[in-house]
Amino acid sequence: MPSPPPSRGLRHVALKCRDIAVMERFYVGDLGYRVEWRPDPDNVYLTNGEDSLALHRDTGAAETDSRLDHIGLLLAAADDVDAWAAHLQTRSVQIAAMPRTHRDGCRSCYALDPEGNRIQFLWHPVLSNR
């Protein structure tokens, strides 16, 4: 049986949000996304030109236990991790883990969005150089 074609990576994440306006201000104002499409007051789609982030109002209608640990933003250089951490700190964004280099050579830090979702800012020595 033939193998499926390779993936181009995770390019879309959808988050359930208690307060879409606060989440939109964070992702647009602090992380540099822009609104791509707003079909109605309960949904907004953002992009940074590389990927897509959907924010959907959490109505609580379907109580599910999200298994999301974090979402990751791939960076072009190891020093970019430190630059992002400094930028986020100047904007009073909570840093969950300061920049560090991991055993595998990756460098990352973690921040929290207004609803507590962890965002990893990651430089990966192989993936970031593609």
pLDDT digits (tens, 9 = 90+) for 66-120: 768 799 999 999 999 999 999 999 999 999 999 999 998 999 999 999 999 999 9
CATH 3.30.43.10 fits 69-130, yes or no: no
Q: What is the pLDDT of residues 12-31, one digit of tens each?
A: 898 999 999 999 999 999 99
CATH class given for the domain over 10-58: alpha beta
Query: CA 92, CA 121: separation in Å to the nearest integer?
Result: 16
pLDDT band at 9 (very low <50, low <70, confident <90, very high): confident
- Residue 60, φ and ψ in degrees, nearest 5: 75, 5
Q: What is the pTM of this model?
A: 0.81
* 3-class DSSP string for the chain: CCCCCCCCCCCEEEEEECCHHHHHHHHHHHCCCEEEEEEECCEEEEECCCCEEEEEECCCCCCCCCCCCEEEEEECCHHHHHHHHHHHHHCCCCEEEEEEECCCCCEEEEEECCCCCEEEEEECCCHHHC
Q: Is residue 65 predicted with pLDDT exceeding 70?
A: no
* Least confident among 14-18, 41-45, 60-64: 60-64
Instruction: State pLDDT tens for residues 48-58.
Output: 988 899 999 98
**pLDDT higher than 90, residue 1:** no
Same fold, 10-58 and 69-130: yes
Tokens of 79: 């020093």
> Is 64's pLDDT higher than 70?
no
Instruction: Give the domain ranges of the chain.
Output: 10-58, 69-130
